[in-house]
Amino acid sequence: MWVRSTMAYRTSFLIMTLGNLLATGLDFVAIALMFTHIGELGGFTLDEVAFLYGTTSVAFGLADLTLGTMGRLGSRVRDGTMDTLLVRPVPILAQVAADRFALRRLGRITQGVLVLGWSLSRLDIDWTVDRALLMPVALLSGGVIFGALFVLGGAFQFWAKDASEVQNAFTFGGTTLLEYPPTVFGKELLRGVTFVVPLAFVNWLPALHILGRPNPLGLPGWIGFAAPLVACGCCAVAGLAWRAGLRAYQSTGS
């Protein structure tokens, strides 16, 4: 239904999809502009940074396409329209995900795939079996980890009601972080995103193994393969938080 309703305003839809393509595109243009002044950033070349950029963008795009509407949950809790979802015989999570499903978000994945393809064509990667295998696994687990963050943020809205910005800090902030090489950031921050909010598993840890780079924290190369496990763990936490949030939900009004 939302796909059809979007199509009702065709010009706007076209502009929006193009805008989405451009959205993350301009980010990458900014990184490319940085590289007109420097050869390496934190010891990484433009091709390698493009690889990091592309993998984050695809993983985030997957999560955003399916669960990006979680950010709107706060307004539903505020104006009480959450109730209409509760009385329908369909899982609430599925309803929130489908609410205002926006096809235009395909733009972000497309752009990520383009940058990733460009970087792969320029990088000289030694494609051993484990590396080739890690690639799709990492992209999917990365998408799942971001998805779990979206759900977690959504669950938080049941209490906070209008704090979708906090969610942005982790999701959009996370993508910005992961677009750059881990060597750029302080060790404290790296530990935080490895062990506390496991964003590093979205792309940094698998990417370090694929690019044949040492881990700045001294962790072994196989840690990248833990991404699916971490993704499952994130889902479990997000699921629990979601249920607790639903239980805590109090409708507005009398």
Partner 1 sequence: MRLYAAVAVSGFKRYATYRVATVAGVFTNTVFGFILAYTYTALWDERPHLGGYDLAQALTFVWLGQALLAAVALMGGGFQEELQERIRSGDIAVDLYRPVDLQLWWLATELGRALFQLLGRGVVPMAVGALVFELRLPASPLTWLWFLLSVVLAVCVGFAVRYLVSLAAFWLLDGTGLAMLSGLLCLFFSGMILPLNVFPGQLGEIARALPWAAMLQVPADVFLEEHRGPGLLRAFVFQAGWAVALLAAGRALQSAATRKVVVQGG
Binding site for partner 1 (CB under 8 A): 8-9, 11-16, 18-20, 22-23, 26-27, 29-30, 33-34, 36-42, 104, 160-166, 168-169, 173, 176-177, 180, 183-186, 189
To the nearest whole angstrom, how small is the minimum distance from the Cβ of residue 150 to partner 1? 15
Least distance in Å: CB of 183 to partner 1?
8
Give the nearer residue to partner 1 in terms of CB position, either 137 or 163. Answer: 163
Residue nearer to partner 1 on the CB measure, 18 or 98: 18
Torsion of CA 242, 107, 165, 227, to 10 degrees: 50
Q: Which is nearer to partner 1, 33 or 129 (CB)?
A: 33
Instruction: Return d(Cα 169, Cα 185) in angstroms, integer.
Output: 17
Position 2, amino acid: W
Distance CA(41)–CA(206), nearest Å, equals 19
Q: At what angle do helices 164-179 and 129-160 cross, to 10 degrees?
A: 160
Among residues 179, 224, 191, the alpha carbon closest in space to that of 205 is found at 224
Q: Under a CB-based contact definition with an 8 Å cutoff, are residues 129 and 31 in contact?
A: no
Using the minimum distance from each CB to partner 1, give the nearer residue, 2 or 9.
Answer: 9
Q: Least distance to partner 1 from the beta carbon of 1, Å? A: 16
- Shortest CB 31 distance to partner 1, Å: 9
